[in-house]
Amino acid sequence: MVTFSQWLRGNSERYLLESAQAEMARRYLNRPGPPAEPGLGPLFWRRVFVPVYPRLPWRLRRAVIQALPGSHRRSWQAREPSRRPPV
Amino acid sequence: MPPRIVVVGGGAAGIGAAGSARQVDPDARITVYTEYEDAAYSPCGIPYVHGREIPDFQSLFLQGKEAYRQAGIDIHYERRVTGLDLGDRLVHVDGEASVPFDRLVVASGFEYADPGVPGTDLEGLYYVKNIRRAIEWDKVLDDVRVAVVLDASPLGLEMVTALAHRGIETHVVDAHPWALAEVADPDIMQPVEESWAELGVKTHFNTRVEALVGDGKVRAVRTSEGELPANIVVVCTHKQPNNRLAKQAGLAIGSTGGIVVDERMATSADGVFAAGDCVELPHGVTNIPVQGLSGSHAYAQGKVAGANAAAGDRTYRPVYVPWGMVAGKWMIGGASFGETLATALGIPFVMGSAEGISRARYYPGVKKVRVKLLAEPGSLRLIGGQLVGQEGIKERADFLAMAIRMGVTLEDLAWMENVYSPPIGALNEPMAVAAQNGLASVRG
């Protein structure tokens, strides 16, 4: 049983990556992108989500990503690099 | 009374946890359950035995079973854990009475994603994981003429190269436009593809698997581009977290399907820790959780989880994911992410790339090294990098991961000090040249 957050992440990651791969394959390999999968679901992700996502402000995208449940929302202390000489 | 620490899983994370718990608390009663016949071997070495680079499987074992007994680590082999009762602090084990614990480490590893096509119940499908099965498959490979590898994943790359080295006609089928497309950039992978072609490997990119065909035993793979005959199929699909026990026990699961942990590798339940391929961790640059990292990540996480299960106080940190491997005659590697993933996520970046050399230009054996760096616009802090070459790739990938962690900028890297010694390093370090080129492109 897949949770909503897994469904959202799995699909958004898959179709955004697919779109980026198509762009990169054209640019570097002169090759087409992955073949489109038939069906209404894939059509929504490809034709609606993928074009809309980059138009959203990065802050909003980041806020949505951060709002998903996961290890990133628990305690992880980042140690800031010190620029001070050690001695 | 010494604490009872139970570890579920005998892979890198589980064995790391048991050993670390023993170091922290010499009196703890430590029990490890594994469903397999062995623990503490390197499954990552299996493709290289198949490819004949390593002469035998025995060298993949780290320690014999006796060494663990002597260390006071009680490993129960071929024992499947069927349930975790976090309320009564019990582990249910097939064929044993329920086992009480004070602290628990879940290191249940990964499962290959189901290819999701008809025919996965056929014989002749090889899932590379267990060393005993690998030994059996190695004998089978002697009579294999044609093999099809499903997915050009990290393991897929290693198996394709190994099978080709073995003289087997090898096909790789992948739905993406190039190999390792979820991790590496196409320009980094192009030399690998050319090298595979020289080895006789047939690549089928942008190709979907539709069915595995056979009568009891697989004889072909039906794809969107036609049918490929196959004596065996090596399934190298995505490594999914094996979270079945954790889910049943009510541990929090994240968006990757991995168990949610904090910097102490503590799960959502008190006294329960988790480590390895079954957990997810925040990425150091994006703070997005990731899972399915390398054996070295699993081992290090296991050490942290085990120490804390034994009442120690250790922390793990967000990951910058240095990676590297050999594919065909090339070494590829990187840290954090590349151009493709940054483009997919819409992360703004500036880029610098260069083709340098691994030794002095006149020194025998000098190899090309191609470097690609990504940096944050404005601050020019490094956020990712990828490399391809024939030596010195792993060391540069490790260096880049640390450089990103420490906030190194293109400016820092462009004028870095570097070792110059004709047999081991060129006058111009390729990473520095890539950073200089990145600065030049930014400043026009």
Give yes or no for residue A1 having a pLDDT over 80. Answer: no
CB contact under 8 A, A17 and B344: yes
- For B108-125, the pLDDT digits (tens) are 999 999 999 999 999 999
CB B38 within 8 A of CB B68: no
Residue B350 is encoded by which pair of tokens? 């500036």
Contacts of A20 in chain B (CB under 8 A): 340-341, 343-344
Residue B340 is encoded by which pair of tokens? 């493709």
CB contact under 8 A, B346 and A78: no
Residues B265, B288: Cα–Cα separation, whole Å: 17
Determine the average pLDDT of the residues in A54-62.
Answer: 88
Q: How confident is the model at residue B17 (pLDDT cuts 50, 70, 90)?
A: very high
Q: What is the pLDDT of residue A58?
A: 83
Q: How confident is the model at residue B444 (pLDDT cuts 50, 70, 90)?
A: confident
* φ and ψ of A31, to 5 deg: -130, 150
List the one residue out of B300, B312, B313 whose CA is nearest residue B16. B300
To which residue do tokens 């390093």 refer? B425
CB contact under 8 A, A32 and B339: no
For all residues of chain A together, what is the average pLDDT? 89
CB contact under 8 A, B282 and A76: yes
Q: How confident is the model at residue A82 (pLDDT cuts 50, 70, 90)?
A: low
Tell me if chain B has a CB within 8 Å of the CB of A51.
Answer: no
- For B250-306, the pLDDT digits (tens) are 999 999 999 999 999 999 999 999 999 999 999 999 999 999 999 999 999 999 999
Q: What is the pLDDT of residue A77?
A: 78
Residues B273, B264: Cα–Cα separation, whole Å: 8
Determine the average pLDDT of the residues in B396-415.
Answer: 97
CA distances from B189 to B64, B113, B185 (A): 39, 24, 6
Q: What is the pLDDT of residue A47?
A: 95
Instruction: Please tell me which residue of chain B has the smallest CA distance to A8.
Output: B255
Determine the average pLDDT of the residues in B220-241.
Answer: 97
To which residue do tokens 């540069």 refer? B396
Give yes or no for residue A78 having a pLDDT over 80. Answer: no
Q: What is the pLDDT of residue B206?
A: 97
In angstroms, the separation between the Cα of residue B185 and the nearest Cα of chain A is 8
Residue B234 is encoded by which pair of tokens? 């090596």
Cβ-in-10-Å burial (0-12, 13-18, 19+) of B20 comes to: buried
Cβ neighbors of A59 (< 8 A, separation 6 or more) are none
Q: What is the pLDDT of residue B226?
A: 96
Tell me if chain A has a CB within 8 Å of the CB of B284.
Answer: yes
Q: Any idea which of A34-38, B130-134, B245-249, B355-359 has the lowest mean pLDDT?
A: A34-38
Tell me if chain A has a CB within 8 Å of the CB of B345.
Answer: yes
Residues A48, A56: Cα–Cα separation, whole Å: 13
In angstroms, the separation between the Cα of residue B396 and the nearest Cα of chain A is 20
| Radius of gyration (C-alpha) of chain A in whole angstroms | 18
Q: What is the pLDDT of residue A80?
A: 61
Q: Which of residues 171-190 of B touch A (CB under 8 A)?
A: 175-178, 181-182, 185-187, 190
Longest dimension (CA), chain A: 64
CB B18 within 8 A of CB B306: yes
Give yes or no for residue B244 having a pLDDT over 80. Answer: yes
Q: What is the pLDDT of residue A17?
A: 96
Q: What is the pLDDT of residue A35?
A: 84
Determine the average pLDDT of the residues in B399-426.
Answer: 97
Determine the average pLDDT of the residues in B231-240.
Answer: 97
Q: What is the pLDDT of residue B40?
A: 79
Cβ-in-10-Å burial (0-12, 13-18, 19+) of B114 comes to: exposed
Residues B345, A21: Cα–Cα separation, whole Å: 12
Instruction: Please tell me which residue of chain A has the smallest CA distance to B318.
Output: A76
Q: What is the pTM for the complete model shown? A: 0.94
Q: Label each residue of B304-369 as H, E or C.
A: HHHHHHCCCCCCCCCECCCEEEEECCEEEEEEECCHHHHHHHCCCCEEEEEEEECCCCCCCCCCEE
Residues B175, B339: Cα–Cα separation, whole Å: 19
DSSP B176-219: SSSTTTTTS-HHHHHHHHHHHHHHTPEEE-S--EEEEEEESEEE
Q: What is the pLDDT of residue B279?
A: 98
- For B25-56, the pLDDT digits (tens) are 999 999 999 999 998 788 999 999 999 999 99
Q: What is the pLDDT of residue B386?
A: 98
List the one residue out of B355, B413, B91, B128 whose CA is nearest residue B249. B91
Q: List the single residue in A8, A27, A34 with the smallest CB-CB distance to B206.
A: A34
To which residue do tokens 């391929």 refer? B277
Q: How confident is the model at residue A85 (pLDDT cuts 50, 70, 90)?
A: low
CB contact under 8 A, A76 and B257: no
Domain ranges of chain A: 4-69
Q: How confident is the model at residue A84 (pLDDT cuts 50, 70, 90)?
A: low
CB B186 within 8 A of CB B206: no
Residue B5 is encoded by which pair of tokens? 């620490």
Residues B327, B154: Cα–Cα separation, whole Å: 9
Contacts of A35 in chain B (CB under 8 A): 175, 206, 208, 224
Q: What is the DSSP letter of B288?
A: -
CB contact under 8 A, A17 and B205: no
Residue B11 is encoded by which pair of tokens? 């892979």
Strand partners of residue B382? B375
Tell me if chain A has a CB within 8 Å of the CB of B333.
Answer: no
Tell me if chain B has a CB within 8 Å of the CB of A7.
Answer: no
Contacts of B287 in chain A (CB under 8 A): 65-66, 72
To which residue do tokens 């806020």 refer? A63
Tell me if chain A has a CB within 8 Å of the CB of B318.
Answer: yes
CA atoms B137, B138, B144, B148: torsion sign: positive
Contacts of A8 in chain B (CB under 8 A): 255
Q: What is the pLDDT of residue A81?
A: 63
Q: How confident is the model at residue B414 (pLDDT cuts 50, 70, 90)?
A: very high
Q: What is the pLDDT of residue A36?
A: 84
Tell me if chain B has a CB within 8 Å of the CB of A49.
Answer: no
Tell me if chain B has a CB within 8 Å of the CB of A66.
Answer: yes
Q: How confident is the model at residue B100 (pLDDT cuts 50, 70, 90)?
A: very high
Determine the average pLDDT of the residues in B143-149.
Answer: 97
Strand partners of residue B173? B150, B204
Tell me if chain A has a CB within 8 Å of the CB of B151.
Answer: no
Residues B437, B427: Cα–Cα separation, whole Å: 16
Tell me if chain A has a CB within 8 Å of the CB of B282.
Answer: yes
CA distances from B106 to B13, B146, B238, B265, B281 (A): 9, 39, 21, 10, 15
Show the CA angle centred on residue B89, arms to residues B83 and B95, nearest 5°: 40
Cβ neighbors of A4 (< 8 A, separation 6 or more) are none
Output B81 or A34, whichever has higher pLDDT. B81
CA atoms B37, B40, B43, B48: torsion sign: negative
Strand partners of residue B126? B234
Q: What is the pLDDT of residue B64?
A: 83
Contacts of A72 in chain B (CB under 8 A): 282, 287-289
Residues B351, B424: Cα–Cα separation, whole Å: 27
